[in-house]
Structure 1
């Protein structure tokens, strides 16, 4: 099946297509990325390719580019989520044909934009939002920061913790949108069936990471921010039923609310334009996207 293709086979597919297509190839991690970037892409000059698989679609995109770079293949570019890469010091070396999202991932990039404000006009309660003691983006970041650091700790210490499917209401107050860190750790431990490290030890490790004073937009995962937003829209800033504001519903709505004008201000847009200038004859973005 296609989802289990190896990096070598993905690279071979692109090499083979070069015989019939002289334009650019834009490699992406997932189908939702393709839906997002397709709006800004000159599809006559650039083919979008979703490079997915295990253990990580991002790692496969990177490896495919490495293979093509080694062959001096021209016209292939990849865009992947930054994840925690900018939290590392020094930054990891990467191919000149690989571009990272401005923030942790595509979802955080969208939430940082006015698309969130447009979504709140549709879903949020103006009265409840006006009664908040802080900006909503600040609340979402503060509530998701411990989750982000726990995700990063899981990677750094190879804890293999499971976050998919955890119930956020087990550790976040639906009325105040405040997170209980101990409840978070216990929820993730129970989901992962990982009890080899004491909860208090994990909490201290999180504290050690927070001393780095990193940009929350690089630490927080967009899916977590949207899960918190979903909880908020049920009580704290809205009154919707859970099914009406599920994560996938909100993610789709945010993508639809995202305008081309917002994209022009991103480093992704600028970096791809610079790549086009450095690779004459290869075009990615629409010419009218200026």
Structure 2
């Protein structure tokens, strides 16, 4: 009950802000998303509101948007991570709700030339040549197994814990190849889900896979960044753990992401169409 009261409170805070600001309010998930999207908005015409907390930032953003829409609040929109929604039936649709092109913000960064710039900064030319695989593709191919297990956990209501898993326990640091059985065991241990059988999970994981699925919708950005961190220590670089720590790499990817990359996304086009349909409200700077 308290959570829903807090969602109402967040909606009311935006209503209060309307008394001093007549422009657009853009809801986003959490502080890092706010930092990212802040670079592209017209701050005179649009203000950001980051939503975080339980049950999840995404669900809270949708709930706040829904409350405001029902009260005919004008000039409100939200950007959320797509997660696995494009592989399923969308839980909630609205002309004011937009999703990232790929699974989440971090996969959008990795799917852009920002990745090339970060690899050029932290990688070793010699090791990259010896690696003999396209780095982005290697991250995707390996990250798919973790992504599918995440999706399986969600579909089957297994409530598996992925936060804090140690990737080096199931990833070959030289090749970035994955051992799925070791992945399952690491996630089971982290989740204290000892009643689940390794073989059953592995079989279920295999049946979940489908060649028609888009890798960019399956893979979780945080997982790909973890893999990149591992790779930059041995497979494609010789960095110390502290120098390529995942949170630091995510910041570097955000910094390396240029406005021109954002302009090529479907999300950018969607927001521009929203502006056209909701005049005089604006979101993005004219030069973006």
What TM-score, normalized to structure 1?
0.96
- Where does structure 2 lack aligned partners over 5 or more consecutive residues? none
Secondary structure at 2:235's aligned position in 1?
A: coil
Secondary structure at 1:28's aligned position in 2?
A: strand
Q: Distance in 2 between matches of 1:205 and 1:56?
A: 26
Q: Distance in 2 between matches of 1:96 and 1:78?
A: 10
Q: Rate the CA distance shift 1:110–1:77 in 2: closer, same or farther, 3 A.
A: same
TM-superposition CA deviations, 1:40-88 (whole Å, max 9, x none): 0111111100111101110000011111111111101100000000011
Name the residue aligned to 1:268: 267
Aligned length: 286
Q: Distance in 1 between matches of 2:79 and 2:149?
A: 25
Most deviating of 207-216 and 76-85: 207-216
- Where does structure 1 lack aligned partners over 5 or more consecutive residues? none
Name the residue aligned to 2:99: 100
Name the residue aligned to 1:31: 31
Q: How many angstroms does 1:158 deviate by?
A: 1.2
Please tell me whether the aligned partners of residues 23 and 75 of structure 2 are also in contact (alpha carbons under 8 angstroms): yes
Name the residue aligned to 1:72: 72
Secondary structure at 1:243's aligned position in 2?
A: helix
The 5-angstrom pairing of residues 3-14 of structure 1 reads 6-14=6-14
TM-superposition CA deviations, 1:84-138 (whole Å, max 9, x none): 00011x4344111110000000000000000011111110111111223321111
Q: How many angstroms does 1:212 deviate by?
A: 5.8
Where does structure 1 differ by over 4 angstroms across 4 or more consecutive aligned residues?
none
Q: Distance in 2 between matches of 1:258 and 1:192?
A: 34
Please tell me whether the aligned partners of residues 27 and 48 of structure 2 are also in contact (alpha carbons under 8 angstroms): yes
Name the residue aligned to 1:229: 228
The 5-angstrom pairing of residues 188-207 of structure 1 reads 188-207=187-206
The 5-angstrom pairing of residues 1-290 of structure 1 reads 6-88=6-88, 90-211=89-210, 213-289=212-288
Q: How many angstroms does 1:20 deviate by?
A: 1.5
Secondary structure at 1:234's aligned position in 2?
A: coil
Most deviating of 13-22 and 97-106: 13-22
Q: How many angstroms does 1:4 deviate by?
A: 9.2
Q: How many angstroms does 1:215 deviate by?
A: 0.4
Q: Distance in 2 between matches of 1:40 and 1:233?
A: 30
Secondary structure at 2:54's aligned position in 1?
A: coil
Root-mean-square deviation (CA, aligned residues, Å) is 1.3
Q: Distance in 2 between matches of 1:4 and 1:63?
A: 9
Please tell me whether the aligned partners of residues 4 and 53 of structure 1 are also in contact (alpha carbons under 8 angstroms): no
Q: Distance in 2 between matches of 1:85 and 1:241?
A: 36
What TM-score, normalized to structure 2?
0.97
Q: Distance in 1 between matches of 2:9 and 2:32?
A: 22
Please tell me whether the aligned partners of residues 5 and 53 of structure 1 are also in contact (alpha carbons under 8 angstroms): no
Please tell me whether the aligned partners of residues 131 and 175 of structure 2 are also in contact (alpha carbons under 8 angstroms): no
